[in-house]
Amino acid sequence: MFSKLFPERLSSIWRLGLLLTILLVCSTALCISVAGWTMKQNLSTIARAVVLDDLGEYAVLYNRNGLKEIKDVFAAGGHENDQAVRITQPDGTVLFEQIPRAVEGYRWPAKTPKKLKLSETLLMTIQHAGKEQELLAGCQVLNDGNLLWFGRTDAEDRAYVEHIRGHLRLAGLVSAAFMLLPLWWFVRHVLRPVQEMMSSTRRLAEGSTDARLQAPGAVPELQAFAKAFNHGLDRIDALTSELQNANDNLAHELRTPLARIRGNLETFHDHTDNETARDAAARGLEEIDRAVELVQTILTTRAGEHKALKLHLEILDLRELLTDLHDLYKAAADERGLTFALEASESRWALLDRQRINQAVANLLDNAFAYTPRGGTVRLVLAVRDDQARISVIDTGPGLTAADLDKIWQRYVRGSAATANTPGMGLGLSLVRALAHAHNGNTGCRNRDEGGAEFWIELPAGDPLASANGV
C-alpha cells in the first residue's frame, strides 16, 4: 500500500528512508501534542486549585482583621509577581488592589457576573488585549459584603509547557537518530547486497555466463541464497561446457568419416550404370554436404567465440564488398518478389577477412529473404561513424518478439516467426556473432517502429595500415 505513494523510479533505499522519516515526524509530533495537551490540562487544574486556595487564605485574613492585615501581608512582600489581589465594594469601587507589572492590562470586571452568596466563590478567565497569556481570576464574597478578587496568569505554566516541549523535541531528534541505525543496517546488509545481486543477474541475462551473485556483508539468509544460486549456476555452466565440448568434439571427429563416406559415394556414383542407384548416390552426396556444412559451421562458431579462428586479413573496401553481395543477391530478391536496395553512400577501408565477412552478411541476407513476405523490402546499409562501420540488414518482415531479442543469437535458437518450412537449424546468427567477435566487432538487432527488424554487424574501421602493422 505504501509503495503506491512513491514514484516507480525511486529506489527502495529512498522509499524506506522517506517512509521512516514520515513515521518519525508524525509520531514525534503526536507525542509532543499529546504531552503538551496533557500537561496543559494538569497545570490548569493545579492553577484553579492554587487560586481557590489563596482566595480562601486572603478571605480568612480579611474576615479576621479587616483590610489592614491584607495590606500588611503585601507590605511584607509575601506574594508572587504574577498574582494580583483586589478588594472592591459591591458597586465596583476599589478599596485595595495589588497588581504587579506582569498582571497589568487585564480588564477586571466591575461586578460579578452573577450574584454570589456569602463565602461563595467564582472562577473566570480574563483575556489580555496584547498578550497570549490568560488571567485566571477568582471572586469571593466577604463577611462585610465586599468582594475579594484574586488572580494569577498562566505565563509560568506556558513557559513550563514550552520548556517540556523543547525537551521532547530534542528527545525526538535523538530517538530519530537511534531509529536510523536499523535503517542504516538494513540498507547496508540487505538492500545494497540485493542491488548487487540484481546487477549480477542483469549481466547473466545479457549473456555473461561467468557472472555470479555477489553478497558481501549481507545477512546470512542472502548469503545462503547467493551461495545456492551460484552453485546451481556452476552446475549449469559445467553441464553447458561439457555439452559444448562434446558437440565440438563430435563435429571435429565427424569430418573425417563424412569425407570418407562422400568419397565412397562419389566412387559408387561414377562407376554404376543403374540410374536408380546413381540418383540415390547423388541425394546421399547432398545430405553429406549438408552435414559437412553443419559441422563446419559449429567448428567455425566455436573458434570465433574464443577468437581462435584463423583469419586471412586484407585491406578491403566495404562499399565494394557490399556492392558485390548486392549484385549476387539481386536475382534471388527478384525471384522472391522483393525489393532489394543498397545504401552505401560513404566508402571505408578496413582490415578484414573477406570470406568471413561475406559469410556473416550473407547469413543476415538469407534470414531477411526467408522472413520477408512477397512485395516487401530488404535494405543493405553501410553506416560509418568515427572508427566504427555498421553493416545493417533491414527488412519489412514480421519482426521479433521480446524473447527473440534476448535469445536469437544463441545456438540452435530460431525466431518465433520460423515455421517447419523455413530453412535453417538456428546456427546462422550464432555464426554471425562469432565471426564479428573474431574481428573484434559486435552484433545487435531491434524492431523498427514502422515494422520489420534490423540486424547489424559493427566492425572496427580505423586506419587499416595501422591495424595491419599491429597484426
For cell 533505499, the residue is 13
Which pLDDT value is given to residue 380? 94
Which pLDDT value is given to residue 1? 45
All CATH 3.30.450 domain ranges in the chain, comma separated:
13-159
d(CA 293, CA 312): 20
All CATH 3.30.565.10 domain ranges in the chain, comma separated:
313-470
pLDDT of 424 above 70: no
Domain 13-159 architecture: 2-Layer Sandwich (3.30)
Determine what percent of the chain is predicted with pLDDT higher than 70: 84
Which pLDDT value is given to residue 111? 79
Which pLDDT value is given to residue 2? 45
**For the CA atoms of 251, 256, 257, 260, what is the dihedral angle to 10 degrees?**
150
pLDDT of 327 above 50: yes
Cell numbers describing residue 323: 556492392
Contact 143, 87 (CB under 8 A): no
d(CA 206, CA 406): 8
pLDDT of 15 above 80: no
- Model confidence at 157, in pLDDT bands (50, 70, 90)? confident
The top-scoring range by mean pLDDT among 105-119, 210-224, 281-295, 317-331 is 317-331
Cell numbers describing residue 240: 553447458
Beta bridge pairs of residue 352: 314
Domain 220-305 architecture: Orthogonal Bundle (1.10)
Q: Quick count: other Cβ atoms within 10 Å of Cβ 111?
A: 13
Quick: pLDDT tens for 58-80: 888 888 888 888 887 777 765 56
All CATH 1.10.287 domain ranges in the chain, comma separated:
220-305
Contact 310, 347 (CB under 8 A): no
Fold for domain 313-470?
A: Heat Shock Protein 90 (3.30.565)
**Greater confidence, 254 or 224?**
224
Quick: pLDDT tens for 428-454: 888 899 899 888 899 999 998 888 999
